[in-house]
Structure 1
Amino acid sequence: MIGGSVFLGRAIVEEALRQGHDVTTFNRGRSGEDLPGVTAVRGDREVPADLEALAAGREWDAVVDVCGFTPRVVAASARALSGHASTYAFISSISAVSDWPAERVDESAPRWECSPDAGPDDGDYGVLKAGCERAVEHYFDGNALNIQPGLILGPWENVGRLPAWLRRIAKGGRVLAPGDPGLPMQLIDARDIATFTLDQAAKGVNDRFLLTGPAGNTTFGRWLGDCVEATGSGAELVWVEDRFLLDHGVEPWTELPLWNPVTPGEVGAWDVVTEKAEAAGLRCRPVGETVRDTWDWLKDQDHTALENRLPSWKRHGIAPEKEARILSEWDAR
């Protein structure tokens, strides 16, 4: 595991240990703590000598790379580990698909154009993820397993989307809820990605998979209702129209996480074909289970400490005074 101490990486390590695998983690030891039972190798993937020391005298069945964001950095890892494992599983993103979210996509959809040797300034997140995928395909002598997840939730989330909703709803009262409660969504638990990735790596699969929940595995209303139920807060969800929220300066994705009004002519984020992954064995737990498990983890955490350690947490959630003002103006409309 390159990474392996936070969120999805942690979930993959935990599942690998549960299955009885011998797990080596390679990271700097800064983002989180390695799980007990792993062989932890400290190093920086951007330091050639550290990669050489990692590979020297070691062989694995598979490499799982969960923290690659720059193609030339991933290329260096792929070259260093080529010949030391049979499969390189790279955790990419659905953002690497150039037609998403404007169109309904499957694995035949094109990826962004990006060189496998591109640097950090040669594109945005999705473009660079596409370049990282090509770096594995080009420089690793073995199976290249590229995983393109959609929206990931679950315990130990370091992005802060579901935690932001759970923390707000746990406070109770009237909660600003965005848009259409019947909007179908596609959400996936990090633990289900972990199981699928390890299963494919064990089979030596050389392929690319879009990985998200099946179409309509929840709705915005059901998902936030799960948050109310999990927290036991009795919060009242007040559904406010998209146009009203936009006119009042509410930021999609961040102030109201996962809210993303669809641009006319586009299908939006929640229309991804998942048949290929499902045929290969993908199974997704109910979204309500993910919400409950995330709250069980979150409710006992020091939220201030998490915010200080995870900068992205601070970007998610609407300010209480702004929420109250919008609700008041919605009532008075």
Structure 2
Amino acid sequence: MRLLVLGGTDFVGRAFVDDALERGWHVTTLNRQTRAPELGVESLRGNRWESDGLAELKGGRWDIVVDTWSWAPVAVRDAAAQLADSVDRYVYVSSRSVYESPLPAGATESAPLVESSPDLTEAEYPQAKRGGEIAAMEHFGDRALLLRAGLILGPNENIGRLPWWLGRAARGGDILAPGPADLGIQYVDARDLAAFGLDAAAAGLGGPFDIVSPPTATTMSDLLGACLAATGSDARLHWVDPAVILDAGVEPWTQLPAWLPPGELHDTLHGSDPSKALAAGLRIRPLRETVDDTWSWLQSLGGDAPQREDRPRLGLDPEVEARVLADQGFADRVSDLQRNE
């Protein structure tokens, strides 16, 4: 198989490249070549913000193209238009953000979608991803595979969600654990996302698939417990009621990555029904494996994870965490901070 990855050096794109190489496929990437390509990859230079950014693709022929673009949909439109006659299958890594919010728990791929257009030169994230989907479908029809991913975790993450929790666990002490402990979360390891995308495209599947774990299979307690185990930390988890956290002005999802309090937003982002993808072969590796592998990767980098320039840094300020814990009667953390000043 001949695979073309538009991008291919960061997180999700790199997962597709690595998976394809393990299969023995011929892999071509198109990117700005700001990093050295993976060994065995044919690397082409192109910048999709430029009018001639796809020039090196002319005359090429591939079985599958993978596109992870998250910005203006016109870039997906232009790539799909140019590749329509030289690629068999277009895999677009989309997002569950393309659905109208709020969504009820148990929503599937038939849920209402946000309005968008493939011709947008600027767009918010949901409209950008939906515009990309429309562009892929306009030029590839049922040859377009739309991977609507939820929370993506795993090695090479450059968003900072799991790396922050791992770093927080490694620091030890008293940790503000956002409750309830048995609150379900959905995720997909980038490597499982890539494996499903390549398997499904090779099998001739098309259309949308929600790519996340089952809604009740993993909890916040599982996530934080796995972080403590991976880092060998003796930190203490203190489960704090969602109302207390919100009243303290702590922001879900950004200051406490992956966590959303029970309610509409939680149901929207952590309540998907992924039955269609699971029936089509999606495999979700154990959370512990994802966490352990991410920690090993972070250790190989000296503990400093890469950070996407277009995304803010995530995590809770230690002083805010200490204040909330102190208000709940957990004073040891405050004393630790004061001794370290």
Give the TM-score, by structure 2 length. 0.90
| Cα shift at 1:45 | 1.7
Q: 1:324 to 1:195 in 2, by over 3 A?
A: same
Amino acid at match of 1:46: W
Q: 1:141 to 1:272 in 2, by over 3 A?
A: closer
Q: Which moved more, 1:274-283 or 1:110-119?
A: 110-119
Q: 1:162 to 1:281 in 2, by over 3 A?
A: same
8 Å contact 1:67–1:91 — kept in the other structure?
A: yes
Distance in 1 separating the partners of 2:84 and 2:264: 46
Distance in 1 separating the partners of 2:312 and 2:272: 29
Q: 1:57 to 1:140 in 2, by over 3 A?
A: same
- Tell me the equivalent position of 1:146: 146
| Cα shift at 1:329 | 1.0
Distance in 2 separating the partners of 1:262 and 1:277: 25
Does 2:19 correspond to 1:15? Answer: yes
| Cα shift at 1:140 | 3.5
Amino acid at match of 1:89: V
Does 2:254 correspond to 1:250? Answer: no
Q: 2:6 aligns with which of 2, 6, 15?
A: 2
Distance in 2 separating the partners of 1:141 and 1:186: 29
Distance in 2 separating the partners of 1:100 and 1:298: 35
Distance in 2 separating the partners of 1:313 and 1:130: 19
CA deviations on 1:223-253 (whole Å, 9 max, x unpaired) are 1001000000111111111111111111111
| Cα shift at 1:34 | 2.4
- Tell me the equivalent position of 2:33: 29
8 Å contact 1:83–1:141 — kept in the other structure?
A: no
Distance in 2 separating the partners of 1:183 and 1:295: 23
Identity across the alignment (%): 43
Distance in 1 separating the partners of 2:265 and 2:56: 52
Q: 1:46 aligns with which of 39, 44, 49?
A: 49
3-state SS of paired residue (2:256):
coil
Question: Which 5+ residue runs of structure 2 have no aligned equivalent?
Answer: 332-341
- Tell me the equivalent position of 2:329: 331
Q: 1:285 to 1:150 in 2, by over 3 A?
A: same
Q: 1:264 to 1:14 in 2, by over 3 A?
A: closer
3-state SS of paired residue (2:253):
coil
Question: Which 5+ residue runs of structure 1 have no aligned equivalent?
Answer: none
Distance in 2 separating the partners of 1:16 and 1:84: 19
Does 2:220 correspond to 1:220? Answer: yes
CA deviations on 1:120-179 (whole Å, 9 max, x unpaired) are 14xx21122111100111134771111100111000101000000000110111111112
- Tell me the equivalent position of 2:319: 321
- Tell me the equivalent position of 2:99: 97
Q: 1:39 to 1:264 in 2, by over 3 A?
A: closer
3-state SS of paired residue (2:276):
helix
Q: 1:248 to 1:266 in 2, by over 3 A?
A: closer
Amino acid at match of 1:19: R
| Cα shift at 1:255 | 1.0
Distance in 2 separating the partners of 1:155 and 1:267: 26
| Cα shift at 1:310 | 3.3
8 Å contact 2:77–2:118 — kept in the other structure?
A: yes
Q: 1:21 to 1:266 in 2, by over 3 A?
A: closer
Distance in 2 separating the partners of 1:244 and 1:276: 37
Q: Which moved more, 1:141-150 or 1:165-174?
A: 141-150
Distance in 2 separating the partners of 1:138 and 1:125: 20
| Cα shift at 1:273 | 0.7
Residues 57-206 of structure 1 correspond to what in structure 2 (within 5 A)?
57-121=59-123, 124-140=124-140, 143-206=143-206
- Tell me the equivalent position of 1:234: 234
- Tell me the equivalent position of 1:278: 278
Distance in 2 separating the partners of 1:293 and 1:241: 30
8 Å contact 1:97–1:111 — kept in the other structure?
A: yes
| Cα shift at 1:104 | 3.0
CA deviations on 1:277-326 (whole Å, 9 max, x unpaired) are 1111111101111001100111231455x45x534676211111111111
| Cα shift at 1:17 | 0.3
Q: 1:170 to 1:312 in 2, by over 3 A?
A: farther
Distance in 2 separating the partners of 1:27 and 1:176: 40
Q: 1:142 to 1:249 in 2, by over 3 A?
A: closer
Distance in 2 separating the partners of 1:164 and 1:259: 13
- Tell me the equivalent position of 1:292: 292
| Cα shift at 1:102 | 4.6
Q: 1:23 to 1:161 in 2, by over 3 A?
A: same
Q: Which moved more, 1:144-153 or 1:316-325?
A: 316-325
8 Å contact 2:66–2:93 — kept in the other structure?
A: yes
3-state SS of paired residue (1:282):
coil
